[in-house]
Amino acid sequence: MKNQVGSKSIAISILSSIFKMIRKNPVLWLIIGLTILFATLYSESFLTGTNFESILKGFVITSMLSIGPTFVVLMGSLDVSYMGIWMFGGALVWLLFPYLGMASIFIYPIFGLVLGFINGIIHVKSKIPSFILTLSMTAILAYLTTVIRNIYGVLTLAVPEYRFLTGSLIQYIPTTFLLALPVFILSFFFMNFTKLGTYLCAIGSNEEGAELAGINVKKYKVLGFAVSGFLSGLGSIALYSYLGARAPVTLDLNEMIRGLAAIVLGGTPLVGGIGGPHRTLFGALAYVLIFNGLFLAGIDPNQFKLYIGLTLIVAVLIASRGLKGVLIA
């Protein structure tokens, strides 16, 4: 009898936690709705191991482009340098591999961390708007990547020795997902077990108030950019494996928009103050489900750019309405 009562209380506690999480993260309703809709409409193709693997790959790509920048968005700024880190960091891996061997892959998080510090210091010292600054950095790094490719006369910056990263160790679980796990863990650690997450939210809510409360705003702004760069660099290892152990050599604006869309879809408004990497993961999953459904529906892939733009606009509108509700409450 006691065991039955104990089991009931545990079940109620679990259900209560689930409903509480859904209430705090409205995007979960979208995920549940999309899953039910596509499972009903395309049961033969949606509910398959192959499609699950495809969704998981898309989820990893989207989350690796968005988790790092979430920390900058929390403080009311923007960081779109993740594309530059992915591109130029890959070029550095390609250049350094003959000298460092397999260890050259770790240039990604090191370069991301350094670039993040540079972005943060320039933003704090010069007051250049973060979006303009990081977009300019991305453009410069994309250009330098192209220069390296042209100097060496190669079509791709590929390192065949890393191709073992592209294989699947577990059926239907892509290696990219396993490579992404450290990024998930570290992002939760920074957000929940350090002062960083709390202070960045405080800065995003009221920068002057945060300063009056004794928070070193300039220091934590730089740290926010540094963490963003570091996580983007670490996540680029998973993205590197996704591309077949090679670096992208052209700047794809769709990928840049993907990162921002996941952040705002997850419920972290671009004005900052609330949110976090856990919400971004939900946003990344919702984003991937939307486009997985469009693909299964037979929509022309050339039209995806239109839907990507519309998704970002809708996500921003939803996030804005949600923020108004929070402020009014």
pLDDT digits (tens, 9 = 90+) for 105-159: 999 999 999 999 999 999 999 989 999 999 999 999 999 999 999 999 888 899 9
The whole-chain average pLDDT of the chain stands at 87
pLDDT tens for residues 161-220?
Answer: 898 888 777 888 888 999 999 999 999 999 999 999 999 999 999 999 999 999 999 999
pTM for the structure as a whole: 0.89
Q: Is the pLDDT of residue 69 over 60?
A: yes
Give percent of the chain with pLDDT exceeding 90: 59
Nearest alpha carbon to residue 62 among 231, 261, 307, 305: 261
Asked if residues 195 and 67 have their Cβ atoms less than 8 Å apart, the reply is no
- Residue type at 137? M
**Domain range summary for the chain, segments of one domain joined by +:** 27-324
Fold annotation for 27-324: ABC transporter involved in vitamin B12 uptake, BtuC (1.10.3470)
pLDDT tens for residues 263-301?
Answer: 988 888 888 888 899 999 999 999 999 989 888 888 877
Q: Is the pLDDT of residue 329 over 70?
A: no
